[in-house]
């Protein structure tokens, strides 16, 4: 072999060794965060032994002697399998994405902080601290489990953390706290709401085309051509007449209102949402089944993500024995069954958001008019920390109707304030835990009394052969208006006057036709 050939062979060998070393290093880095599925771990904070069994599909079934240990272990297992998902989404829920990703997501953080997701979560936490200490204890036990995993695996939490800490500056992995769990609920509420952007679109059409033409562009559901599968004696087919909308439109000088806010890219991060998500559920009574017992099926569709948004788990303790789908970051099971009942959900999509047009004091841009008097806005300073950059200060202006979501542009002085049911403290965690423990229809209905937002269609079946339906959620009672367009905020005519009472929300128990369907996709 010639000298040149020897050099070439040697160089090729060196390159191959380098490639092999890189591959081995990559495999090691990828596999380092993999969860430990076998063996024993000693966890400070547990009251007694906990057993985690993973079945052939990798589904974790947790067996504990008490609820504190059960939720501790669920937090630990969630973090084992989904830490990066939990870390990212808690930053989303608090409007702190830029602490990880840097300048490209500052606009997203501004949007989230302006809308007040972080403030809504803080209000809910304060509610649990003051009014529901037993459910705060659930959040604290779950958080302790997540933190046990973080503390034991801080140098190998996630490949995503490793890569992003190399591309950007490393960020602090903070302890998990109850507000991180609560923030996830606010994120999902936003994901399953979203009426405010439709109000803006309709207002823009009415401004350019008139109310009558706009009504033809957004007609009611065509029941005549696409009938529902079961008879109903109450249908709302027509939107309010154009003449009824004209009075609202006439009160507003649309040239002074920034209607482009809904068209601007308010979030720039791909959060796995889209306009065409939908869900289906069915429950059929025993008179149609071979066993003579009900069948319940549910396929809730949410935005596509990797990893998936749902996390299947079994939670087994003397006070709770439930299997189903959870959210990584949240204790309990959202959709599933226990030994007595089963339930499934789809999104209702009620109008729980309104935009109010606020008249601003020309001599003081931090005052707005209400019933003939100037009112001071609340000013909240939000500091957005940016990975690799300077902090961004944001002043959020808040009226009696909610945060102002746009700025004055080109001399336009009328601003839009955003009202949303998620701005109220939420009791949904209480609902989830009670639902997981429910033993019959009465327990099921009582559990859903506390499901504030997002409003869902719940179908139900039990071992006694019953089937049922319940819609829970906060639905505003409007003094005036139809929720189709932004309304004058200065008159006092369009205020919310409370919520539709739970007893008046739609419900069914063992309907004569023997089946219940809520399908929106």
Instruction: Tell me: pLDDT of 179 over 70.
Output: yes
Supply the pLDDT for residue 154: 81
pLDDT of residue 10 exceeding 70, the answer is no
Tell me: pLDDT of 433 over 70. yes
Structure tokens at 364: 């003081």
Look at 22 and 491; give whichever has higher pLDDT. Answer: 491
Indicate if the pLDDT at residue 127 is higher than 90. Answer: yes
Say what the pLDDT of residue 176 is.
97
Closest listed residue to residue 485, CA positions, set 264, 239, 273? 239
Mean pLDDT of 509-515: 95
Interval 392-421 mean pLDDT: 85
Instruction: Return the pLDDT at 246.
Output: 55
Alpha helices in 362-455 (DSSP H): 428-437, 441-448
141 contacts: CB under 8 Å, gap ≥ 6? 67, 68, 69, 71, 72, 75, 331
Alpha-carbon distance 252 to 247, whole Å?
9
Q: What pLDDT band is residue 15 in, cutting at 50, 70 and 90?
A: low
Q: 368 pLDDT exceeds 80?
A: yes
pLDDT at 253: 76
Q: Name the nearest CA neighbour of 158 among 34, 321, 335.
A: 34
Q: Residue 37 — pLDDT band, cuts 50, 70, 90? A: low
Q: Is the pLDDT of residue 33 over 70?
A: no
Averaged pLDDT for residues 309-331: 97
Q: How many other CB atoms are found less than 10 A from the CB of residue 325? A: 17
Name the phi and psi angles at 238, rounded to 5. -105, 140
Is pLDDT at 66 greater than 80 in this prediction? yes
pLDDT digits (tens, 9 = 90+) for 166-175: 767 777 889 9
pLDDT at residue 391 greater than cutoff 90: yes
Q: Pick from 37, 269, 330, 25: which is nearest to 159 by CA?
A: 25
pLDDT at 392 > cutoff 90: yes
With residue 461 as reference, give the H or E element that holds it: strand 456-462
At 233 the pLDDT is 57
Q: Element (H or E) spanning 281, and its range? A: strand 280-284
Measured CA to CA, the distance from residue 417 to residue 115 in angstroms comes to 10
Is residue 337's pLDDT more than 60? yes
Question: Predicted confidence band at 455 (pLDDT cuts at 50, 70, 90)?
Answer: very high
**CA 298 to mean position of chain CA atoms:** 19
Phi and psi at 510, nearest 5°, equal: 45, 60
> pTM score > 0.85 for this model?
yes
pLDDT, position 244: 54
CA distance linking residue 313 with residue 337, whole number of Å: 11
Q: Sign of the C-alpha dihedral, residues 357, 362, 368, 373?
A: negative
pLDDT of residue 71: 99
Question: 216-270, pLDDT tens digit by residue?
Answer: 887 777 777 776 666 655 555 555 554 455 556 567 777 777 666 644 444 434 4
CB count, 10 Å around CB of 390? 9
Question: Which residues lie closer than 8 Å to 229 by C-beta, 6 or more apart?
Answer: 517
Give dist(CA 271, CA 256) in Å, integer: 33
Q: What is the mean pLDDT of residues 108-130?
A: 95
- Nearest-angstrom CA–CA distance, 179 and 186: 11
At residue 292, the 3 state secondary structure works out as coil
Rg, the chain, Cα only:
26
| Contact partners, residue 495, CB within 8 Å, separation at least 6 | 478, 479
**Distance (Å, rounded) from C-alpha 188 to C-alpha 197?**
17
The whole-chain average pLDDT of the chain stands at 86
Contact (Cβ atoms closer than 8 angstroms) between residue 358 and residue 406 = no
Cα angle value 488/493/498 (rounded, 5°) = 110
The predicted pLDDT at position 334 comes to: 97
Cα 416 to Cα 401, 412, 506, 511: the distances in Å are 9, 11, 32, 44
291 vs 499: CA distance, rounded Å: 41
Residue 65 has pLDDT above 90, yes or no: yes
| pLDDT reported for residue 172 | 84
Check pLDDT > 70 for residue 210: yes
pLDDT at 234: 58
Q: Does residue 467 surpass a pLDDT of 90?
A: yes
Region for residue 38 given its phi and psi (left: phi exceeds 0; alpha: psi -120 to 50; beta: otherwise) = beta
Percent of the chain, pLDDT > 70?
Answer: 82
Across 404-409, average pLDDT: 71
Give the pLDDT confidence score for residue 16 in this predicted structure. 56
Grade residue 27 by pLDDT with cuts at 50, 70 and 90: very low
Banded pLDDT at 24 (limits 50, 70, 90): very low
Give yes or no for residue 409 having a pLDDT over 60. no
Of 160-169, 188-197, 244-253, 393-402, the range with the highest mean pLDDT is 393-402
């Amino acid at each position: 072999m010639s000298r040149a050939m020897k050099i070439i062979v040697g160089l090729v060998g060196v390159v191959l060794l380098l490639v092999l070393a890189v591959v081995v290093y990559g495999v090691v880095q990828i596999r380092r965060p993999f969860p430990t599925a076998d063996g024993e771990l000693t966890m400070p904070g547990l009251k007694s032994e906990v057993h985690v069994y993973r079945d052939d599909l990798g589904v974790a079934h947790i067996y504990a002697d008490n609820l504190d240990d059960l939720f501790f272990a669920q937090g630990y297992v969630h973090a084992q399998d989904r830490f990066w998902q939990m870390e990212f989404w808690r930053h989303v829920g608090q409007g702190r994405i830029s602490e990880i990703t840097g300048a490209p997501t500052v606009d997203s953080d501004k949007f989230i902080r302006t809308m007040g997701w972080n403030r809504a979560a803080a209000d809910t936490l304060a509610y649990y601290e003051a009014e529901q200490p037993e459910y705060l204890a659930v959040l604290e036990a779950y958080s302790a489990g997540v933190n046990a995993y973080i503390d034991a695996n801080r140098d190998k939490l996630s490949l995503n953390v490793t890569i992003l800490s190399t591309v950007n500056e490393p960020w602090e992995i903070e302890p998990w706290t109850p507000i991180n769990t609560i923030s996830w609920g606010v994120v999902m509420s936003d994901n399953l709401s979203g009426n405010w952007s439709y109000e803006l679109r309709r207002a823009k059409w009415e401004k350019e085309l008139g109310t009558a033409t706009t009504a033809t562009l957004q007609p009611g559901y065509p029941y005549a051509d696409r009938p529902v599968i079961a008879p109903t004696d109450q249908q709302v087919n027509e939107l309010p007449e154009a003449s009824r909308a004209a009075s609202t439109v006439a009160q507003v000088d649309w040239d002074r209102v920034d209607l482009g806010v809904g068209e601007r890219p308010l979030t720039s991060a791909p959060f796995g949402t889209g306009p065409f998500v939908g869900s289906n559920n069915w429950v059929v009574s025993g008179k149609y089944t071979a066993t003579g017992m009900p069948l319940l099926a549910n396929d809730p569709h949410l935005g596509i993500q990797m990893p998936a948004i749902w996390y299947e788990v079994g939670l087994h303790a003397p006070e709770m024995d439930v299997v189903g789908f959870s959210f990584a970051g949240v204790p309990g099971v959202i959709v599933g069954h226990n030994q007595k009942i089963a339930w499934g959900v789809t999104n209702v999509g009620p109008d729980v958001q309104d935009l109010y047009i606020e008249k601003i004091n020309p001599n003081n841009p931090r005052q707005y008019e209400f019933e003939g008097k100037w009112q001071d806005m609340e000013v909240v300073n939000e500091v957005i920390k940016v990975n690799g950059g300077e902090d961004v200060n944001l002043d959020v202006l808040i009226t009696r109707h909610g945060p102002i979501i746009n700025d004055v542009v080109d001399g336009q002085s009328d601003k839009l304030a955003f009202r949303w049911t998620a701005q109220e403290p939420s009791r949904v965690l209480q609902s989830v835990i009670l639902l997981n423990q429910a033993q019959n229809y009465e327990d099921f209905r009582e559990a859903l009394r506390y499901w504030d937002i997002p409003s869902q269609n719940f179908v139900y079946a039990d071992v006694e052969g019953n089937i049922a339906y319940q819609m829970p959620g906060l639905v505003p009672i409007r003094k005036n208006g139809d929720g189709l367009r932004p309304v004058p905020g200065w008159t006092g005519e369009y205020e919310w006057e409370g919520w539709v009472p739970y007893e008046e929300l739609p419900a069914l128990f063992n309907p004569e036709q023997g089946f219940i369907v809520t399908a929106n996709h």
